Amino acid sequence: MVTYVVRRLITAALILLGASFLVYNLTALSGDPLEEFRASNLPNAAALMQARTQLLDLNTPAPIRYFKWLGGAAGCVVGQCDLGKTLAGQPVTQALGQALVQTLTLVTGATILAILVGVALGIVTALRQYSALDYGVTFMAFLFFSLPIFWIAVLLKEYGAIGFNNFLAHPDIPIPAALGIGIIAGVIAGVVAGGALRRKAIVGAIAFAFVTLVLVVASLTQWFRYPGLGLGVILIAGVGLAFGITVLAAGLQNRRALYAGLTTVVIGAAVYFPIQPLLDLATPLMIVILAVVTIAVGVAAGYFWGGYDRGQGMRVGGITAFVVAAMILLDRFMQSWPAYFDNGKIRGRPIATIGAATPNLQGDFWLSGIDAFTHLILPTIALVLISLASYTRYTRSSMLEVMNMDYIRTARAKGVSERSVVMRHAFRNALIPIATIVALDIGALIGGAVITETVFSVRGMGFMFLDGISHVDPNPVMGVFVCVAITALFFNLVADLIYSALDPRVRVK
Amino acid sequence: MRFGRISKVVGVAAAAVLALSACATQGGGSSSSSSSAAATKQGGSATVVEVNAFNTFNSNTADGNTDINSKISLATHWGFYYVDNQLKVVHNEKFGHYEKTSDNPLTVKYTLNDGVKWSDGTPVTAYDIALSWAASSSYFDDQDSKAKTGTAYFSTAGDPTGLNNTKFPDVSSDGKTFTLTYTKPYADWETAIGSNNGTIDIPAHVVAKKAGLADAKALYDLMKGMKKGDPSSPQPANETLKKAADFYNTGFDTKTLPTDTSLFLSNGPYVVKDMVADQSMTLVRNKDFTWGPTPNLDQIVVRYIGSSPAQIQALKNGEADIIAPQASSDTIQQLKAIQGVTVDQGHQLAYDHIDLNFYGVFADKDVRTAFMLTVPRQDIVDKIIKQMDPNAKPLDSQIFVPDQAPYADSVKNNGSADYQQVNIDKAKQLLNGKTPEIRIMYNKDNPNRVDAYTLIAANATKAGFKIVDGGLGKSDWGKALGKGGYDATIFGWINPGVGVQGVPQIFKTGNGSNFNKFSDPSADQLMDQLIQTTDQSKQVDLEKQIDQKIWASSYGLPLFQSVGVDAYSDRVTGVKYMPNNSGVWWNFWEWAAK
């Protein structure tokens, strides 16, 4: 194992050296760094050209300049990084730090969401292979996958931000619009429901009626201006979720697990009012602590209900508690929405098209939380939409493969419930190849959101890379390259190690 | 036992509540909306979009001289003059007074008014002007970059020639008066001091302290004790001045608000309040500012958005109030379609032109004239510019642009009238049956240049020219300039807007940007006279004569000016188009929120 890791690390270092040599020279030879001064009619154009030549050390041939750069970069090993300076005179290490933060803000949420949604869709479509749902999801996934992101992003900005903000100014939903959205929701629900045509029709009709009604009520109560869930919705949704989570994690026949879930819903409802004054003073740290406490309470509820499979009860309790707490949190965010909406910096147009935060917005945890949400929602949707396809398709095929394995048939034959077959025997094993893909994707994401960054005006790693290329300035390009390459190589290694840890059949040598 | 357990639970719960409230914020959660509502009532705020991100408080250095840095420097500093959107120099008499006190030798006296001060309370003194002079004159530099000897002290983005030919300036004992004596007459003396739009933007007392000196006067005294640098006899570097210069060159670089407030002192209408790296910057009113027009807005927020479509959508979504995207017909159409937005169009100082080499096949003046007669300038404007600006006309002067007052007058007499219409017949007559082969060089990665080339080539062929496409790629055409290998070239230049120093750079025999080897002794003489003429009306006369000489020698043709566009929402007023690179910022104090 250790020899394997060492061997991989040595190979990685060699790959990095070779690749960096290539990238440096390709960048340095990609154009004329003095281009902007060549045709200049400034009286001091020659002096400026000389200053630039000196700054970029252009009198040294590129391959030799690479070794100078490498000398500085090698200092990173002993903690004295010198990756050179950008054209503006900023040290590349410092610029990288700033760019990395911007990029991570942009891609972290999107990556997690894409994985969660993608894997879930993959599982569902695999279980309903060749159904209308399967075809529908596949169609949509490939549609989004093949759309250019700059186009999706511009459309999202036009309708998701500008259009939605216009709507928020007068949040009335006309009846025909409510009916239209209701019909769409009904059709989707019908397709998702599966089963006989009659069942599909009933589910569809219920969804249609429910969604239409909700929209009409939301319009009448100006819900989009003054949103909130309230204790009632949290309670009803909580009970529903408790049942749902029990079905997935334990099976309804495990009554004690269900009771554990329901108990946490009741506890959540009970603390809803007492917790509000504390939430008014919230800080990020407090929310984290509260989340830990909540899960602990849920797990404790499962523990005390006990039963033949205590672990299942604890799991149901913990997950339910987390979800209920999340709803309370969401409700609290919604309570701050009117204050955010009417804020002088927001001026009634909350959904943003650029940047990561509203400048000079001074607000508490809730306001700044909403602000981050309104800025990140559009880029996140854009990134999720285009990366859904790979996760969905990989999970689907992996799940299908596993479901056709002999041991699944064996499990079924010995009378294991379908829930256990899917959740315990199939799902976990289907995730093994996904782990590899996820690890590799993380490496690619850091440098891969170039277009999204440009459209949403985030000066992250991609922007730095492009800017360096367009000025024929190898230093920032190399900075980004080294970062991305190291992450990619590292996660490649991690992926292989995880694989062997997850799958006992694979052993590293 | 039972009681014990409950008390334990109560104890744990109490500890938990304590712990949670310890990490809570101070005060209630409902105080947020009231404070911001109050802020909008006084004077209001506006959000301006800039393409590039701010990175240094010293925009005078070669590295720091980007448009955004200069604009922030302009908004937070004040000086003896500014340039208005008619490209005229306007004196700021409330800041100080400057005048030419002698013509021989040229002597300019700058007097600062009382009460003008930096935002840390230190008065603005003549020593600040002395630092500005020292930095932009390269006076002390004795570096010889070929021999690798000597020292370069202050980095400057500007042309040091004018200020370099001066004596060491005098400062009066009260530190209010700065007298500069030129050893060579300098035509652009009026805009010589204060680099970015005339602002005095670097506090000498801060630079002095960072170099270990007591105050601004100590820095001045140190410089006074030094000799003018001479690259042919380099001296050992003065360590203290080198330290001061190094700080000047890089010490003001930052993307986040420095904790050391002396790095961003203001002496202008606004002070920097907040900076978010690569995202935004906030300027607020400088309460002390009384030596100039009081700005209307309490706050200006600058946001950096690189792509033009993103700027337009930000304006449409109300996140930005003033934008200046790159002009294209798409951009202008989209902007005009937005309700509640005013679109301001104008010329930029950049213009495209076709130059004919004064050697090779074009050595014969008749051939040059014949070629010029075939250039369809109106068609080029129609094809490239009309869709953006329906009123666009070809540019008719080699020296002036229409935004400058002398343009109209110069155009009447400079001989451009002969080239208003394509005249193939006359061109054929001049060619007299010859069919010269012309290689035209241009940047073939620039669609506008390709269009211009195509139209020019088609028309020239009609007159009998054999046109060879000498288009080169984006990174090659610039290197090929002036190297020969072509006969005509289409590219762009930027009119300086103010000052005459740029004229000989392009048109004088043997100068750096004279790529086509144009040489006219009488024009050279006029240019020698021009850069030594300190009287503006005489300068204009000379420029008009030079314009005429250039046209008369069949130099080539100016084609069109680039189009610029600003757009601002109805929430703000007072925004006016400006052709030079200050852009909308030139009158920022007149902006107001509705």
In whole angstroms, give the CA distance from residue B206 to residue B204: 5
List, in order, residues 6 or more apart from B217 with CB less than 8 Å away. B125, B127, B175
pLDDT band at A310 (very low <50, low <70, confident <90, very high): confident
Q: How far is B99 from chain A (nearest CA, A)?
A: 25
pTM: 0.88
Are residues A266 and A155 part of one domain?
A: yes
Are residues A258 and A118 part of one domain?
A: yes
Are residues A257 and A122 part of one domain?
A: yes
Looking at residue B459, its pLDDT comes to 93
Across A478-482, average pLDDT: 91
Nearest CA in chain A to B69: A88
Mutate to test the interface with A, among B303, B319, B500, B594 (most CBs of A within 10 A): B319
Q: Are A386 and A146 in contact (CB under 8 A)?
A: no
Range of the domain at B109: 81-250
Q: How far is A276 from chain B (nearest CA, A)?
A: 10
Nearest CA in chain B to A288: B20
Three-state DSSP at A197 gives helix
Q: Are B285 and B43 in contact (CB under 8 A)?
A: yes
Q: Are B397 and B543 in contact (CB under 8 A)?
A: no
Q: How far is B148 from chain A (nearest CA, A)?
A: 12
In whole angstroms, give the CA distance from residue B543 to residue B506: 13
Whether A353 and chain B come into contact, CB under 8 Å, resolves to: yes
CB atoms within 10 A of CB B28: 11
Nearest CA in chain B to A461: B278
CA distances from A446 to A21, A440, A449, B92 (A): 21, 11, 7, 50
* B257 domain residue, yes or no: no
Are residues B130 and B161 part of one domain?
A: yes
Nearest CA in chain B to A340: B33
Are residues B223 and B146 part of one domain?
A: yes
Are residues A394 and A308 part of one domain?
A: yes
Q: For residue B277, what is the domain's CATH number?
A: 3.40.190.10
List, in order, residues 6 or more apart from B168 with CB less than 8 Å away. B139, B223, B224, B228
CA distances from B101 to A74, B181, B182 (A): 60, 10, 12
* B502 domain residue, yes or no: yes
Number of domains in chain B: 3
Q: How far is A363 from chain B (nearest CA, A)?
A: 5
Are residues B482 and B587 part of one domain?
A: no
Q: CA angle, B585 as apex, B584 and B588 as ends, to 5°?
A: 110
Looking at residue B3, its pLDDT comes to 47
In this complex, the residue of B37, B305, B475 whose CB is nearest that of residue A31 is: B475
Are residues B186 and B51 part of one domain?
A: no
Are residues B496 and B422 part of one domain?
A: yes
CA distances from A311 to A248, A304, A420, B498 (A): 14, 11, 15, 80
Whether A504 and chain B come into contact, CB under 8 Å, resolves to: no
Nearest CA in chain A to B491: A39
* B149 domain residue, yes or no: yes
Sign of the CA dihedral A476, A477, A479, A480?
positive
* A464 domain residue, yes or no: no
Are residues A415 and A277 part of one domain?
A: yes
Looking at residue B40, its pLDDT comes to 40
Are residues B408 and B485 part of one domain?
A: yes
Whether B317 and chain A come into contact, CB under 8 Å, resolves to: yes
Looking at residue A149, its pLDDT comes to 87
Q: Which of A404, A426, A442 is the last residue of a domain?
A: A442
Beta pairing class for B280-285 and B270-276: antiparallel
Residues of A in contact with B306 (CB under 8 A): 454, 457, 459, 463
Place of tokens 């909306």: B33
Q: Which of A392, A421, A442 is the last residue of a domain?
A: A442
Please provide the average confidence, as pLDDT, over all residues in chain A.
89
Q: Which residue type occupies A195?
A: G
Contact A280 B29 (CB under 8 A): yes
* pLDDT of A238 higher than 80: yes
Are residues A362 and A491 part of one domain?
A: no
Number of domains in chain A: 2
Looking at residue B27, its pLDDT comes to 39
* B64 domain residue, yes or no: yes
Are residues B389 and B290 part of one domain?
A: no
Q: How far is A343 from chain B (nearest CA, A)?
A: 6
Sign of the CA dihedral B188, B189, B193, B194?
negative
In whole angstroms, give the CA distance from residue A95 to residue B414: 52
* pLDDT of A179 higher than 90: yes
Q: What is the ipTM of this complex?
A: 0.89
Are residues A433 and A376 part of one domain?
A: yes
Are residues B536 and B575 part of one domain?
A: no
Are residues B500 and B367 part of one domain?
A: yes
Whether A463 and chain B come into contact, CB under 8 Å, resolves to: yes
In whole angstroms, give the CA distance from residue B485 to residue B475: 17
A230 against B195, higher pLDDT: A230
Q: Which of B188, B218, B250 is the last residue of a domain?
A: B250
Q: How far is A314 from chain B (nearest CA, A)?
A: 20
Looking at residue A212, its pLDDT comes to 94
Whether B20 and chain A come into contact, CB under 8 Å, resolves to: yes
Find residues 12-51 of chain A whose CB sits inside 8 Å of chain B. 30-32, 34-35, 38-48, 50-51
Are residues A484 and A363 part of one domain?
A: no
Are residues A363 and A240 part of one domain?
A: yes
Across A278-284, average pLDDT: 90
* A184 domain residue, yes or no: no
Closest by Cα among A12, A106, A28, A19 to A61: A28
Residue A238, H or E segment: helix A230-249
Q: Which of A393, A427, A442 is the last residue of a domain?
A: A442
pLDDT in tens, chain B (594 residues): 444 555 565 555 555 555 555 544 443 333 333 333 333 445 889 999 999 999 999 999 988 888 999 999 999 999 999 999 988 999 999 999 999 999 889 999 999 999 999 999 999 999 999 999 999 999 999 888 777 888 889 998 888 888 999 999 999 999 999 999 999 999 999 999 887 678 999 999 999 999 999 999 999 999 999 999 988 888 899 999 999 999 999 999 999 999 999 999 999 999 999 999 889 999 999 999 999 999 999 999 999 998 899 999 999 999 999 999 998 888 999 999 999 999 999 999 999 999 999 999 999 999 999 999 999 999 999 999 998 988 899 999 999 999 898 999 999 999 999 999 999 999 999 998 889 999 999 999 999 999 999 999 999 999 999 999 999 988 888 888 888 889 999 999 998 888 888 899 899 998 888 999 999 999 999 999 998 898 888 999 999 999 999 999 999 999 999 999 999 999 999 999 999 889 999 999 999 998
Range of the domain at A71: 2-82+472-502
The tokens describing B358, both together, are 């004064």
* A380 domain residue, yes or no: yes
Closest by Cα among A52, A68, A64, A80 to A25: A64
pLDDT band at A191 (very low <50, low <70, confident <90, very high): confident
Are residues A324 and A235 part of one domain?
A: yes
Are residues B370 and B295 part of one domain?
A: no
Place of tokens 């098209």: A353
Q: Are A455 and A153 in contact (CB under 8 A)?
A: yes
Across A215-225, average pLDDT: 91
Percent of chain A with pLDDT over 90: 48
Q: For residue B205, what is the domain's CATH number?
A: 3.90.76.10
Q: Are A380 and A109 in contact (CB under 8 A)?
A: yes
* A192 domain residue, yes or no: no
pLDDT digits (tens, 9 = 90+) for A251-277: 888 889 999 999 999 999 999 999 999
In whole angstroms, give the CA distance from residue B323 to residue A36: 24
Are residues B558 and B409 part of one domain?
A: yes
Are residues A486 and A343 part of one domain?
A: no
The tokens describing A43, both together, are 């009286």
Q: CA angle, B213 as apex, B209 and B219 as ends, to 5°?
A: 100
Q: Are B455 and B383 in contact (CB under 8 A)?
A: yes
* B424 domain residue, yes or no: yes
Find residues 245-304 of chain A whose CB sits inside 8 Å of chain B. 278-283, 285-286, 289-290, 293
Are residues A145 and A116 part of one domain?
A: yes
Are residues B404 and B552 part of one domain?
A: yes
* A463 domain residue, yes or no: no
Q: CA angle, A382 as apex, A381 and A384 as ends, to 5°?
A: 65
The tokens describing A131, both together, are 């159904």
